[in-house]
Every structure is written in C-alpha cells, then in structure tokens.
A = this chain, B = another copy of it.
Amino acid sequence: MKKVNIKESAIVAVSRFYLSLLGFFLKGKFTVEDLEKTIGNFIDKSKTSYISSIDEDGFPNIKAMLSPSDRDGIKTIYFSTNASSLRVSQYRKNPKASIYFCDQRFFRGVMLKGEIEVLDDGESKRRIWQDGDTLYYPKGVDDPDYCVLRFTSKSGRYYSNMKSESFEL
C-alpha cells in the first residue's frame, strides 16, 4: 500500500486550487475541464455533503449527508440513504435538488443544482455498496431500507474569496 504523504497532498491540493484560480482570472471563466478537476477534487476531500429538497408545502429543506458513494465526473453523483427517510419521499414527488460542499478553511463552497432519482433496484444498490455500509443498513445490500440517490447536475455555482461564479454543465 502506497504511503500517502499528507503534507505533500495538502501542498498539491492548494497548488491545484490556486492554479485553477489563476486560470479563471486569465480566461475570465472556468472551462469544463477546470470544473471537473477543481470541483471533483473538492467533492472527494469533503467528509460531509449538504443536500436540499423541496417539501410538500414548497419550503426548501437541508440535511447533512455522508460524502457521495460514487461519482461520474461532476455530472452524476451517487449517495446511499434510507428508503424510509423524509428526503426520499420528497424527491419521489419533486426531483429538484441541490448539493453543496464546503471547505471552511479556505472559505470555498460549491453548489451543484439538478435532479435526484431514487433508485431501489438491486443493480443500482450493488453498484455503490461499500463494506462499512452495514453500520447503517444491517441487512446488507438487500436491506429494504437502503436505496440510492442519483443526482444529475445541470448547473452550479462556485464560491471562493467572497466572489462567486455560476456555470452550466
């Protein structure tokens, strides 16, 4: 197993961030490639995700979730969750959603906006199942209370240094 040098990783992450910012200031806007790298890296380093839905009275709801179980670039992002949760019943009625990741140290944040599908078929559940998940779903991958949220991003907004920039995906 490769030993990760944490100090070195931090320097690489910070350098990537400033290179991406430099690219942004030189070009005036982010390219899709910049976004994939910067935001993908951001998501992978986040321990907590914040997820938003709309309830039956039209109020936006927020909840903290564990980090995504899997992702395909920054366009498709998978979360595991309890099928019995309030959030799942809300997404079944209204798929509009946003997810947010925050780096409090550097005052950075990214919001992705799109739609969430609730998947409860065996294939989707096995796709993102991870060993430690029995902690949350004691009956394993076939636990009827385990399901998948598949988020598809349409656009987003990146916050950094008290400035923000919207982007389409």
Chain A interface residues toward B at CB < 8 A: 47-48, 50, 52-55, 58-64, 86, 96-100, 102, 104, 109, 111, 113, 136, 157, 159, 162, 164
Q: Are B63 and A109 in contact (CB-based, < 8 A)?
A: yes
Nearest B residue to A155 by beta-carbon distance? B59
Q: Are B60 and A52 in contact (CB-based, < 8 A)?
A: yes
Q: How far is the CB of A168 from chain B (nearest CB, A)?
A: 13
Contact with A60, one of B86, B98, B102, B157 (Cβ below 8 angstroms): B98
Nearest B residue to A61 by beta-carbon distance? B98
Q: Which B residues touch A164, using CB under 8 A?
A: 86
Q: Which B residues touch A100, using CB under 8 A?
A: 50, 62-64
Q: How far is the CB of A160 from chain B (nearest CB, A)?
A: 12
CA distance A58 to B136 in the complex (A): 32
Nearest B residue to A113 by beta-carbon distance? B59
> Given contacts A136-B162, A162-B136, is CB(A62)–CB(B50) below 8 Å?
yes
Q: Are B63 and A104 in contact (CB-based, < 8 A)?
A: no
List 25 A–B pairs whose Cβ atoms lie within 8 Å, in order of A's numbering: A48-B102, A50-B50, A50-B100, A52-B52, A52-B60, A52-B61, A53-B60, A54-B58, A55-B113, A59-B97, A59-B98, A60-B97, A61-B111, A61-B113, A62-B62, A62-B98, A62-B99, A62-B100, A63-B100, A63-B111, A64-B100, A64-B102, A64-B159, A86-B157, A136-B162
